[in-house]
Structure 1
Amino acid sequence: MVNERITIGALARRSGVPVKTLRFYSDEGLLPPVGRTRSGYRVYAEDAVVRLDLIRTLREAGLGLAAIKAIFARDMTLAEALRLRLRAIETHIASLQHIAAALRATLRSEPDQADIRRLCTVTRLTTEERKAVIERFYERVSEGVPIDDTWKRQMMQASTPTLPEVPTPEQLDAWIELAEIVQDEDFIQKMRAAAAETWDSGFDLAAHQRVSQEANAAARELIDRGVPPTDAAARPVVERMAAGLAAAMGKPDTPAWRATLHEKSRGHDPRASRYWELVAILKGQPPQSGANEEWHWLNAAVAHHLAPA
């Protein structure tokens, strides 16, 4: 019968769940009684058995009490709750796989200090914590600088390292080195100063991106043809890029501007380019490939063709 009432003891016998646990679920609002007997014992509707089965299933799936409460309160659908739990499980599995990879790398031979350091680093940080390291770096670099939020998010997404399920020792080492770079106070200060110089009131992001894309495409074409950055064929690429960057930054394309570009090419902090090389390694790519290779080619071309006569 739908309207049948059952005592907490009867519910415990039907479900196999201890009375103490049923009281706990009731006190937490997951299994509300429909009333009490004259003696003060809780009584439940017969469909409490079905509700209890759902609670047990969700608990066994790893959902917390707060998530289950949200489902029952219609604040969250069952599908949403299960998706959240699935993502958490997948993240945990990935973390365990990374630890297993570090252990395998450590056991290739008699472990040394580098192996232990690698193992400690991987076991200490989860995937989300690794992502947070990169996000904190960009937040610190952009402190007090009017950097476009969309651009910053895109940079975070492009450079946040995602270790593969079974990372190689080289990828584990790349993450360790990358984490050290983005937490280096001197590097953060230099990147903030460079950002402040770039992101002033006259900076045109769209124009800058267009110039960069065109320069990278031209560099790629010459690289594929085997043309070195010191070749005369590289000069027109450098000329167009210098003029385009000046316009994007609201500056005149003067000899002084080109001298500044040359100075920057010669005084570039190697940690900045190393950062992208490490990101490439983490993605399973050669350290100097694609955009990294093009950047190195262009930097060398600027250093050569804009050098003072």
Structure 2
Amino acid sequence: MRFVVYGAGAVGGTLAGLLADAGYEVRLVARGAHLAVIRRDGLRVLSPAGSRTYRLPATDAPGDLDWRPGDVVLLGVKGAQTSAAVRALAACADSGTPVVCVQNGVANERTALRRFADVYGVCVMFPATHVTPGVVVAHCAPVPGILDIGRYPHGVDGTAEAIAEAFRAATFHSVLRPDVMRWKYRKLLTNLSNAVEAVCGRLPAGAEVVARLRAEGEAVLRAAGIAFASESEDAERRGDILRRQPVEGQSRDGSSSWQSLARGTGSVETDYLNGEIVLLGRLHGVPTPVNAHAQRVANAHARAGARPGTRSLAEFMAGV
């Protein structure tokens, strides 16, 4: 089994390095300055254990890869980039190539299933950071993250087990989840606060806006008849597995949305987090004013090229 990691950011890049450590052959698809540094200096993965540099073949065009039977795609791009990534993959990879969505949000798997027959969802619990080109940071040890996997839309099979085994060999916790989307919808609810955190910085414990965002989300999912894991199930799964430890010279200042603003990408993934709740609310007649507001404000903040954490919570919530 060879892995093609499409999107070598915080999650994809760290996962690629650890899979290589476990003896798996890995190829990267990356872009821009990040790709340039990887090609020149290698991919540097920082962790509580220290620093390692990986010289992995990398390209910005999946058609450049020598595709083989048994290749598995690990899709690590943001939700807004999934459609383009899947189109690029479909132009060069066999339609039977397994595509594994190691991503936040719940729309990626459906997009991949339009072009590929074997699609897998992963519920990602993995504190990692990518701000500097060529560098990714894993913040937990000895287990860097939890990557539970299942087929989309439901079920498990031998391929899912083989991928879970590879994740475990790379020191992750990974179990098979025939209902993996139920867990990904819980993660979606957790990620609804990313937009506020990205714009305002870390939120105070028990922030009212977080409760309002998630209450809207739960109401929408219930109206849509979509099952989601409970908070208690999520807490039990996490347990004390993810132990954050210092990484020399590094801090984890925010979520993936915060990191997008820090890199000045001009966009955040809020359309596929808060925007998913807004979409479902409109489809099922459930008001979602707080999520719609968070989506608008975060997108405007990103388009303006503003730095993360530069507005007060009161400024963010004005007009809700």
So what's the TM-score if we normalise by structure 1? 0.29
Report which structure shows greater RCO (CA 8 Å, sep ≥6): 2
So what's the TM-score if we normalise by structure 2? 0.28
The structure richer in helix per residue is: 1
Structure with larger Rg:
1
